[in-house]
Structure 1
Amino acid sequence: MYNRHKTWRFFYLTKYIKMKKAIILFHLFITIVIFSQKKFDVVYEADYKLNYKLSNSNNFKKETTFALLINENSSFFKDLRRYISDSLMVEKKLNTIEEAMKYNTDFRGYIGTTSAKLYVTDEINYSYFGYEEPNNTNWKIKNEFKTVAGYKCQKAETTKYGRTWIAWFATEIPFPFGPYKFNGLPGLIAEVYDTKDDYHYTLYTFRKRKYTCKSANIATNVKNLTKEKVAEVFKNRLAGKLRLNEQYIENVEDREYMRRNAEEAIKNYNPIELSIY
């Protein structure tokens, strides 16, 4: 009974904090200057499902979806919930907190890919940070094949960001792009996952899409840093959230309870990148 009480207590405290922060975030959103948007000319779109595990404390996995926007020279990657909410924001059709909360996601950043560089914009504690990194993944192509989403795919492997990754690419889709930061193979990456299967991307649709995405990156006032500096900010994000949460909780016992949970979350956090490179 005590554990059940703790669970519900944590649930209501978290829900209360999220609602308070949602109000702040929503008001920040509506101040965005629409004409500052970065556009992206789309020729094709590949949509992916991601199964992922954010914590090492259990085997619980979550699921979300992403859109990979593609043209002849580059790609742009973002969570589909963010894609929809950004589009509604630009069109001034997102008018209430309840509507905004429908599109909440663990992945609020954007990734642009060219042959030379990766351009990353991430949102940390409601502020935007950007960095660049070289696009230099070293793949080892294997003589193994399987079918993914109806496409014949070939296997490739690489070690990147502290994990070993297995990818399956489709040469019949002649674009060297893929989900997240993975690219550089002679065909679209249809599936990619780490050997622990903590993060598993799978293509579920590929289609032609001739249009200009006006809301590709709605980030404003982006602070450009090195990747090392952004990683440092990101590492401390839960501490920042804790300080933000404390302003909403007057009860000392509740504040201490949230602090202990934040410390446990930091200890067990399982990011997609275990190392910077």
Structure 2
Amino acid sequence: MKKLFSIFLIAIFAFANAQNSDSKETANRFFYELTFKPRKDSAKLEKVIMALDIVKDRSIYRDYTAIGQDSILKVQFDAMQKAGVFKDLSKSFKMPKFSEKIVKTYPDMKIEYIERIANGFTPMNIGYSENLKFNWKISNDKAKIGAYNAQKATTEFGGRTWTAWFSTELPFQDGPYKFSGLPGLIVKIEDDGKNYSWVLQGNKKVPNWEELTYMEKISNVGTKVTEMPKDKFDRTFRDFKKDPFASARPMMTQEIMSRSIPGMDGTIGDMMKKQEKMYKDFFNANDNPIEITQAAATEKKKK
């Protein structure tokens, strides 16, 4: 999920085994405020903070929500493990708005697009790779975007026309989402219909940086990605969104579903229904994709 916290919290609690990290990498973390229109037929706009972490050989783009709650989550899970009692954490944490993780490798800027699905009760990463070459048209227009002197550039991507502002004061040929390839970091970019607009809000150094969040570590999801062709990825992820527990349901006997959960009201079946509703509400909240052409191609193949 845009990062979804768990495929099934019970399974995560059962298999929790977070390890201490000895990461020596330092990341440059850039915070973008993303203003977006979640539904095509609505004038409503929503906002979320997205993070772009740049390390020596790659960058990682993702929703900052899960990262920002990492320390709180660790305290809660440590307390649960010490007490030996499960606790429903769904009321304590905000759900991310976006589930994808996008990795760009340097210097070739190969893109890996990653989502998380369930394999039974075990989370797994699926993804596809692509080599995008943006046809940027750099103009002489300049402006001050936040604290940085920036220059204008435009491109066509995903069925939309995009206007970007990049700054050579930040020497990274990168940007939010899949965007890259300008002679400086993209500090602002939006499409002509203002469906999606990223604006850089700040940055900081992150010593001992780790790619995995605490939740990813305790769920054993790791960084391994099952790569597949883009059309197969689209089908697989579409099927998951349609029925998030399809691979787990055959394992759930009536006896298991009726078991109570120590530390919370309700049964395993109740918890499963709650999680299923959470997933479906999450996926149904946005029908206005960033890449219109990709979404249209997926819909065409469904018919």
Separation in structure 2 between the aligned mates of residue 106 and residue 213 of structure 1, nearest angstrom: 21
Separation in structure 2 between the aligned mates of residue 155 and residue 94 of structure 1, nearest angstrom: 50
Corresponding residue of 2:261: none
- 5 Å-filtered alignment, 1:128-147, equals 128-147=125-144
Q: Deviations over 1:146-205 (max 9, x none)?
A: 111210111111111222111111111111111111111111111111111111111100
> Cα gap change, 1:202/1:144 in structure 2, threshold over 3 Å: closer, same or farther?
same
Give the number of the structure whose residues are more often strand, by fraction.
1
Corresponding residue of 1:274: 292
Q: Deviations over 1:122-161 (max 9, x none)?
A: 1246653122111422211111111112101111111112
Is the CA contact 2:24–2:207 (under 8 Å) kept in the aligned structure 1?
Answer: no
- Is 2:9 the partner of 1:26? yes
Corresponding residue of 1:110: 101
Corresponding residue of 1:46: 30
Gaps of 5+ in 2: 81-86, 250-256, 258-268, 271-276, 298-303
Separation in structure 2 between the aligned mates of residue 120 and residue 188 of structure 1, nearest angstrom: 20
Is the CA contact 1:85–1:100 (under 8 Å) kept in the aligned structure 2?
Answer: no
- Is 2:197 the partner of 1:200? yes
- 5 Å-filtered alignment, 1:46-65, equals 46-65=30-49
Of 160, 164, 168, 2:165 maps to 168
- 5 Å-filtered alignment, 1:74-223, equals 74-85=58-69, 92-93=77-78, 95=80, 96-98=87-89, 102-114=93-105, 115-116=107-108, 117-124=110-117, 128-213=125-210, 215=212, 219-220=221-222, 222-223=225-226
Q: CA deviation at 1:22?
A: 8.1
- 5 Å-filtered alignment, 1:238-277, equals 238-240=241-243, 269-276=287-294
- Secondary structure of 1:27's match? helix
> Cα gap change, 1:156/1:23 in structure 2, threshold over 3 Å: closer, same or farther?
closer
Kindly report the root-mean-square deviation, in angstroms, between the aligned alpha carbons of the 2 structures. 3.7
Corresponding residue of 1:11: none
> Cα gap change, 1:159/1:24 in structure 2, threshold over 3 Å: closer, same or farther?
closer
Separation in structure 2 between the aligned mates of residue 171 and residue 22 of structure 1, nearest angstrom: 36
Q: Deviations over 1:221-251 (max 9, x none)?
A: 743212222122334454325989x9979xx
Q: CA deviation at 1:120?
A: 2.0
Is the CA contact 2:240–2:246 (under 8 Å) kept in the aligned structure 1?
Answer: no
> Cα gap change, 1:36/1:51 in structure 2, threshold over 3 Å: closer, same or farther?
same
The TM-score normalised by the length of structure 2 is 0.67
Is the CA contact 2:137–2:154 (under 8 Å) kept in the aligned structure 1?
Answer: yes
Is the CA contact 2:112–2:127 (under 8 Å) kept in the aligned structure 1?
Answer: yes
Q: How many residues in Structure 1 have an aligned counterpart in Structure 2?
A: 243
- Is 2:229 the partner of 1:226? yes
Q: CA deviation at 1:40?
A: 8.6
Separation in structure 2 between the aligned mates of residue 136 and residue 94 of structure 1, nearest angstrom: 48
